[in-house]
Structure 1
Amino acid sequence: MKKIFILLLFNFSVFAQSQNENSNKVFNFATEFSVYGIQTNNFGNNFLAKANKPYLIGIGTQLVLFKVYNFGLGYGGEFVKHQVTNNSLGGNIKNTNATFLNLKLIYYQDLKSKFRIEPLIGIGQATLNQRTGKEKFGKQTGTSFYLGSNLSYKINNNIAFFVGIDYRYTKYKVNTNTDFISFFDNSNQVQLKLGATLFK
């Protein structure tokens, strides 16, 4: 959570200091800053799906580093806290904290009126921290791949609200018995997003 809070402040600081006086330029820097809530659904035969339950709301943030024509490159992060629900699979651990840092390539397509659709693909770094209270029990890292889309509604020139859905597949690095590798080395997630975007 600490990493995402720092990233949120960093993204907002870069966005606030950027200058894009001509919105018709081909290249624009740091034009959009987003913050959003996440509802995560884990599925499949893996550790997160079988032994953990995500808390109701996670948090995410994204800064569009630059836009060229209708394409944008976003840098962001997401945090989702899980409760361990099956100790026979998850061990004597209370929580699994999932942090995702990512780059996303986004295509912006304006629709009628003030709506915009934003299909995206992405790649990122995933970290799972297992802990009970302040005591840490282990960490896994891996690579995440994203496919999704947002639908936004612009209420004025400076702010929009959006809903979105992403599929995220993550491959983790594990060191365990070969019989258990396929259970611990991946996760499949569908996440629903609701948030707001600030524009320059």
Structure 2
Amino acid sequence: MRALTFIIVLLGFQMVLSQEMKKEKAFFLEPLFRVYGIVPISFGDNYLAKANDAKISAGVSMSMFEYHDFRLTAGFDHIYYDVNDVKLAGTVDHSRSNAVYGIVSYEIPVVKSLTLQPYLGGGWSEINFMRQDNIPLNSNNSSVDHQQGGHFRIGFYTDYRIDKIFSFFAGVNYVKSKYAIDTAPEFVSFFDHAQTVQVNFGIKVGYSKKEKYKEKMDN
């Protein structure tokens, strides 16, 4: 009788513990990588918007874990520009915009294979001013100058999963950068900031342990 009582109590304890684990499980170690193209659209009264034509560029990002549907992600953007106004750009032929960023995103399921992930964040920004060397047999770009600063970004991804590991995604984000610059006062407001809307598209690689866990708990 005591043994039967003990077994019943033990089973009841296991059921309660399982329910609590189901409620409390919130952290999932889920490496996730994105590789994407960028269509940048610079605007406003600033150097990148007025003196350059933006080119289709690229970026990459990585996230390691998910907590209550939130993700912390680190990434890098590298954007190409060709100068279209030498009067404004001076001796510069090309520009390169680099950004290292961190974002916090939140996953919102739409349907089984489609999720929406709004995010916000910021990080470090840099513009490199490049000039084409006019030396015979040497057509490399050389750096004329650079300026650095910080930026803020906000946007969203829309992920469409094609199997357990791969997803296609597209998204839009707004990036506002502010640079530290040492130049004549009348030129500061033209060179010390940038505003860009980025249309992103690419591939996401990652396996969802959270979904596997939920399926296991539901069964």
TM-score by length of 2: 0.77
Q: What is the deviation of 1:122?
A: 1.0
Q: Indicate the structure (1 or 2) with the bigger Cα radius of gyration.
A: 2
Partner secondary structure for residue 179 of structure 1: helix
Q: How many percent identity over aligned positions?
A: 28
- Where does residue 211 of structure 2 map in the other structure? none
1:136 deviates by 1.0
C-alpha RMSD of matched pairs (Å): 1.3
In terms of fraction of residues, the more helix-rich structure is 2
Match of 1:78 in 2: 77
Q: Could you tell me whether the CA contact under 8 Å between 1:71 and 1:106 is conserved in 2?
A: yes
- Structure 1 residue 28, shift from structure 2 partner: 2.7
Aligned equivalent of 1:106: 105
Aligned partner of residue 186 in structure 2, secondary structure: coil
1:136 aligns with 2:135: no
Q: CA deviation at 1:145?
A: 0.5
Partner of 2:34: 34
Q: Which residue of 1 aligns with 2:45?
A: 45
SS at match of 2:182: coil
TM-fit CA distance, 1:169: 0.1
- 1:25 deviation in Å? 5.2
Q: For each residue in 1:50-80, what CA deviation from the matched residue of structure 2 results, as whole angstroms up to 9, or x when unmatched?
A: 001111x110111013211110000010101
Residue 202 of structure 2: aligned partner: 195
Give every structure 1 segment of 4 or more consecutive aligned residues whose post-TM-superposition deviation is greater than 6 Å.
Answer: none
Aligned counterparts of 2:147 and 2:32: Cα–Cα separation in 1: 31
Q: For the residues of structure 2 that align with 1:25 and 1:131, how far apart are their CA atoms?
A: 51
Secondary structure in 1 matching 2:111 = coil
Length, aligned pairs only: 176
Q: Which sections of structure 2, spanning at least 5 residues, go unmatched?
A: 1-23, 132-139, 208-219
Look up the match of 2:9: none
Q: State the alpha-carbon separation in 2 of the partners of residues 30 and 44 from structure 1.
A: 39
Where do residues 144-159 of structure 1 align in structure 2 (5 Å cutoff)? 144-159=151-166
Task: State TM-score, norm by structure 1.
Answer: 0.85
Q: By how many angstroms is 1:102 displaced? A: 0.3
Measured against aligned partners, the alpha-carbon deviations of 1:150-190 in whole angstroms (never above 9, x if no partner) come to 11101111011011000000000011112211111100000
Alpha-carbon shift at residue 30 of structure 1 (Å)? 4.7
* Per-residue Cα deviation, 1:124-145 (whole angstroms, up to 9, x for no partner): 1111111123311001101010
Give the Cα–Cα distance (whole angstroms) in 2 for the partners of residues 182 and 44 of structure 1.
11
Correspondence for 1:171: 178
Specify the code of the residue in structure 2 equivalent to 1:119. P
Q: Which consecutive residues of structure 1, in runs of 5 or more, have no partner in the other structure? A: 1-23
Answer yes or no: is the 8 Å Cα contact 1:31–1:67 preserved in 2. Answer: no
